[in-house]
């Protein structure tokens, strides 16, 4: 199901890109830039919605629905991510083995050895 929705999503995305690139912009007509006579019409300077603009709306709605569907399906899949594994490893403490040797003890003075210092210049 996830793969099928992904394929539909990719097809809708490519169709939406193609349809948007095929359309001309609102200000494509030089007369519209200077307030041509067509700006006083009922539907504005562009006229009624064309087939391409209606198809753009349909594809945009399908794009949103498939995006939402993919999000829901991905959350139900329960797959793990690298980030999820990394946080679970850092929050868990390693179990101690009963037969493992004890950690190193401090030196004879009872203090841990000092870190080496850099020579002064």
pLDDT of residue 24: 76
pLDDT of residue 91: 60
Write down the residue that tokens 């995006």 correspond to. Answer: 67
pLDDT tens for each residue of the chain, 121 residues long: 899 999 999 999 999 999 999 887 765 555 555 655 554 555 555 556 788 889 999 999 999 999 999 999 988 887 666 676 555 555 666 566 666 666 666 656 666 656 667 676 6
Rounded to whole angstroms, the Cα distance separating 21 from 15 reads 10
pLDDT of residue 69: 94
117-to-26, 114, 120 alpha-carbon distances in Å: 71, 9, 9
In 25-74, which ranges are E strands? none
Rounded to whole angstroms, the Cα distance separating 59 from 7 reads 14
Rounded to whole angstroms, the Cα distance separating 121 from 119 reads 6
What is the model's pTM?
0.51
Structure tokens at 46: 């562009």
43-to-6, 19, 27, 46, 58 alpha-carbon distances in Å: 37, 21, 15, 7, 20
């Amino acid at each position: 199901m996830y793969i099928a929705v992904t394929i539909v999503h990719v097809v809708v995305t490519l169709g939406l890109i193609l349809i948007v690139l095929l359309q001309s912009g609102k200000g494509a007509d030089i007369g519209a830039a200077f307030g041509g006579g067509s700006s006083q019409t009922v539907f504005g300077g562009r006229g009624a919605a064309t087939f391409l603009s209606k198809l753009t709306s349909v594809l945009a709605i399908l794009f949103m629905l498939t995006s939402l569907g993919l999000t829901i399906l991905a959350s139900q899949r329960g797959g793990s991510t690298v980030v999820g594994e990394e946080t679970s490893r850092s929050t868990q403490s390693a179990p101690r083995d009963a037969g493992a040797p004890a950690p190193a003890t401090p030196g004879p003075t009872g203090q841990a050895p000092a870190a080496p210092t850099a020579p002064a210049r």
